[in-house]
Amino acid sequence: MAKHPAVFIDRDGTLIDDVGYIKQSSEVSFYPFTFEALSVLQEHFLLFIITNQSGIGKGITTTEEVSEVNKFILKILKQQEIVIYDTFCCPHKTEDKCDCKKPKTYFIDKAQQLYNIDLSRSFIIGDHPSDVQCGLNARITPVYVLTGHGQMHRDELNNGVVICSNLLEASKHIILEITRHE
């Protein structure tokens, strides 16, 4: 059975505007370029969302609230004919030292098993150094975006990490990379 390349995408600050701990769908604001970026990517990759939602562990949001927000995001994406194969959500605080919070690779490993992912041809896109480190830890290519918290944490990155202004630019970069290698 053929293995599939994938793109793992952070939620807040990458797909949607990072407005803090989101409790309801009315707080979700998609970036104007999100749909185009995902449409371009899904022609070549399986798409996944991986999100750290520490607000649950901190008692700021509930599992149900985060789940409803994720369902709303998926519904809007589906209306745009964008398929997200799975959404992975870590509810823990950093202090919990869980196995699933990025930069740990738990959800990428799980996706690899469930969806037969070819990690050597896969990418992760996010606005936090933990997204980049997660990609490096999983041996997939990280792409850092300057939306969300990206600008604030830019200086924390190692040299050599690809930095793009936003998800659309990251998508274009990834497509250019894969077409170079075909």
Q: Catalytic positions, please?
A: 10, 12
Task: Locate 110 and state its tokens.
Answer: 């799980």
Alpha-carbon gap, residue 101 to 30, rounded angstroms: 23
- Residue 182 CA to chain centroid, in angstroms? 25
Alpha-carbon distances, residue 58 vs 16, 63, 70, 92, 102 (angstroms): 22, 11, 19, 8, 17
Task: Locate 41 and state its tokens.
Answer: 């990517």
